[in-house]
A and B are shown apart, each in its own frame.
Chain A
């Protein structure tokens, strides 16, 4: 993608052509020749995370790069720190391909956020691919307004379209793996700690009142902004500090009331809900009011609060917010929300976003500047603040943190969940807290994490372990292994703003350069499941369930690519080869 050499070559050619032209006279023909750009090998960069930050992504990226290389495309893998990668992909849209994990919660409406055309210009986890397709948009809109039964059909249709168009390529679902010590705390959930409510169900075994946890991903020690897209993807840790109206515990079938004491769904022509808030306060002592909730929804929709010409929506959970039509405050602790959908099993989605204190965030609705100069535009203070002393209303409050080293939080004793039997909250979460402090310590690797657990200096990890340490955990008598399937999936993202990723045929052929079965068995040591579609369970149509081979099958067998098959497919799709290298004209 470099203009230099080809320009220079063109200049030389032009000089030579001039000389020849002077002697031969057929200027027109020569002009036609040198006026054309030279062809050069197609070169792509796959952005991903280094193994220290994500053990699997770089493995998948390497395999893809090797196989594309075999097919004649020059491919580089560029690994970079998570916040930088996410900024490149989500904010600057500066990438060719990337391999990363999508922070899915398993709801089909997420696909709408990922692919909805109107989101392509925005920054955040909404359509980072720049994909646009009108028939997709119709289906994506339809799935959120129809009844449950029809919704399944529409989602199946969407899944088939995703496999056909490959706006992104799903690779696999990795398992959550964790190791826990049970000598100080027990009742650890399946798969270890994976949600804020998991912390509340732990039980104390002896007199220890501090829970010691390890972190590999240190982003929470740098930034505690609930809406910063670069910092919030896998993590649930921010939900320890911030509450939402409802919460959706990992194994539950329906959300439970949380900050909302009661939710009464209305009967009118459009779906509405009247919500009664619990009596509780922010960590700085101010009461949580209906105004805070109304402010949050307005703010997330436009973090400039009308200051800018066009709204600056939250880069995180954008799609959910669009399900809310209006919010009206009825009293101090009561509000009424109307929705843009009539389906209650979709309408809960905006109610699980973190509620922010108005008295702190209102001042952040201003343009972000560097020493008084607005250098980037369309960015508010709210999106870039690192919100270090996070003030939420969650069951835990921030104590202190050292960047890339540690984070301490303590139980917030005024929180309603610690009261005697709060209404509508399952008893396993309610009542006296099992500990009064949590210390998170950043460790340099998962191997180091296991070492610290073995040394009895911690109780578990807060963000899981990679498959390669499982044998060590299994051998250790003091540690017990927790595994569960995850909702988040690895995928290859294509920047559909750049040629040749604009071409669905190109993306389809690229997707055939990965062997999902061998990726899971080798790169994930078997701790995961291959998949060609996002979402799991009933949302996947029969014909797309994983049966060992993708609908767009791998070019080769057992992870070994057959380059001839790959090149043949590219040729059939109209791509040109010079010997074994795929060439394109121009500077692309």
Chain B
């Protein structure tokens, strides 16, 4: 029940944001043009959409079996992340270095918590979906291709890391000092996040990498959408801070998330003019999946 309600509200609010942003940023002219050229535009990105679809299906499978597989072959790094997190602020506080998450939460106010919770859930989804709409409204196919590849790369690399590294976030570890603010204050969101994710999927932060990816992509389309650059930058920075402020990620997850975003965007830029060889990828992916899934059945 709660899940349906929360997802319904999520869809509603994100749609509302999309409509407002489309009117303000894309403009009526582009939208009208897109409606006329919809077929040709879609045809020029079709292989990329196919690729993303395969990635998402593979991702779904990997996430279902991932946690169990990960416990068999993965490395447990929670303790390392925890101690690393206690050293990062050393330049600022050489005497008594606080944990990054604890330091951020020491500045918490109810308003900030409400803001970051909103950003973490709604702002994030909007930040990821809007580029898809905005780039479809452009006559050239490259930005959308770039975006699809970059998103796919994030997921593939992210999920592989989740299988290799087993880690719990701050809210599960340093509970005496850092609260899982999102889940204690807005427990309803947890039904959504647990439905799409396992709590050991922490390193790296996919929230960070996807949000930063969207912001980096915005810079590549600064000529077409100049206003989207500052908006996406503010949103991305807010998402990045929210992951730590809400006690969900360690600072190391965030740093690696940013690196992953940069890698994904480079991959996206490299592949935007050369549609990947579909058949081979498909065969490879299915061989890998089969070899993983068959013995587990």
Chain A interface (Cβ within 8 Å of chain B)? 45, 50-52, 55, 58-59, 62-63, 76-81, 84, 371, 444-445, 447-448, 450-452, 455, 457, 468, 522-523
| Minimal Cβ-Cβ distance residue in B for A456 | B1
Residue B44 at the chain A interface, CB threshold 8 Å: no
Chain B residues positioned under 8 Å from A523 (CB to CB): 176
Given contacts A51-B175, A79-B173, A84-B71, contact A447 B168 (CB under 8 A): no
A119 to B139, CA, bound (A): 74
Docked-complex contact B183 and A444, CB < 8 angstroms: yes
For window 66-89 of B, CB contacts with A under 8 Å fall at 71, 76, 78-80, 82-83
Contact (A444, B2) CB under 8 Å given A58-B175, A81-B200? no
Nearest CB of A to B108, in Å = 16
Q: Which one of B188-196, B222-230, B269-277 is at the interface?
A: B188-196
Per CB-CB distance, the 3 closest pairs between chain A and chain B, nearest first, are: A76-B79, A50-B172, A447-B187
In the complex, the chain B residue whose C-beta lies closest to that of A222 is: B68
Interface residues of chain A: helix, strand, loop or mixed (majority): mixed
Q: How far is the CA of A387 from the CA of B126 in the complex (A)?
A: 44
Quote the shortest CB–CB distance from A221 to chain B (angstroms): 14
Which residues on the A side are within 8 Å of B190 (C-beta)?
Answer: 444-445, 447-448
B194 with A444: CB separation less than 8 A: yes
A444 / chain B contacts, CB cutoff of 8 Å: 183, 190-191, 193-194
CB-nearest residue of chain A to B198 = A404
Which chain A positions have C-beta within 8 A of B79? 45, 76-78
Does B295 sit within 8 A of A, measured CB to CB? yes
Bound together, the chains give a CA A52 to CA B76 distance in angstroms of 17
Q: Is the CB of B78 within 8 A of A55?
A: no
Binding site for A on B (CB under 8 A): 1-2, 71, 76, 78-80, 82-83, 166, 168, 171-176, 180, 183-184, 187-188, 190-191, 193-194, 199-200, 295
Closest B residue, CB atoms, query A457: B1
Query: Measured between C-beta atoms, what is the minimum distance from B260 to chain A in Å?
Result: 24
- Point out the residues of chain A lying under 8 angstroms from B200, CB to CB: 81
**Closest Cβ–Cβ distance, residue A66 to chain B (whole Å):** 10
18 cross-chain CB contacts under 8 A: A50-B172, A50-B199, A51-B173, A52-B171, A55-B175, A58-B175, A76-B83, A77-B82, A78-B76, A78-B79, A80-B78, A84-B71, A445-B180, A447-B184, A448-B187, A448-B188, A451-B2, A452-B2
Q: Which of A77, A448, A522 has the most CB of B within 10 A?
A: A448
Q: How far is the CA of A129 from the CA of B82 in the complex (A)?
A: 27
Q: Which of A62, A84, A455 contacts B173 (CB 8 A)?
A: A62
Given A445-B187, A452-B2, does the pair A50, B176 have CB atoms closer than 8 Å?
Answer: no
Contacts of A77 in B (CB 8 A): 78-79, 82, 173
> How far apart are B190's CB and chain A's nearest CB, in angstroms?
4
A-side contacts of B188, CB under 8 Å: 448, 451
Residue contact A522 to B187, C-beta cutoff 8 Å? no
Q: Is the Cβ of B78 less than 8 Å from the Cβ of A448?
A: no
Report chain B residues within 8 Å CB of A81: 71, 200
- Residue of A whose beta carbon sits closest to that of B195: A444
Residues of A within 8 A of B171 (CB): 51-52
A80 in contact with B166 (CB, 8 Å): yes
Q: Given the complex of chains A and B, what is the CA–CA distance between A523 and B82 in angstroms?
A: 19
Which residues of A have CB within 8 Å of B175? 51, 55, 58-59, 62
Q: How far is the CA of A58 from the CA of B188 in the complex (A)?
A: 24
Q: Give min CB distance, A255 to chain B, whole Å.
A: 38
Chain B residues closer than 8 Å to A450, beta-carbon distance = 187
Contact A79:B168 (CB < 8 A) given known A445-B187, A457-B1: yes
Closest partner residue, chain B, to A449 (CB atom): B187
Contact of A468 among B80, B173, B184 (CB under 8 A): B184
Considering the complex, give the chain A residue whose CB is closest to the CB of B168.
Answer: A50
A406 to chain B, nearest CB (A): 12
Query: What is the bound-complex CA distance between A52 and B172, given in angstroms?
Result: 6
**Given known A76-B79, A77-B82, A79-B168, contact A451–B187 (CB-CB < 8 A):** yes
Complex CA–CA separation, A522 to B175 (angstroms): 11
Alpha-carbon distance A78/B81, docked complex (angstroms)? 10
Contact between B174 and A62, CB atoms less than 8 A apart: yes
* A371 to B188 Cα, complex, angstroms: 43
Contacts A62-B175, A451-B2, A452-B2 supplied; 4 other A-B pairs, CB < 8 Å: A52-B168, A52-B172, A76-B80, A455-B2
Nearest CB of B to A126, in Å: 24
Residues of A within 8 A of B191 (CB): 444, 448
Chain B residues with Cβ below 8 Å from A455 are 1-2
Nearest CB of chain B from residue A427's CB, rounded to whole Å: 37
CA gap between A80 and B175 in the complex, in Å: 15
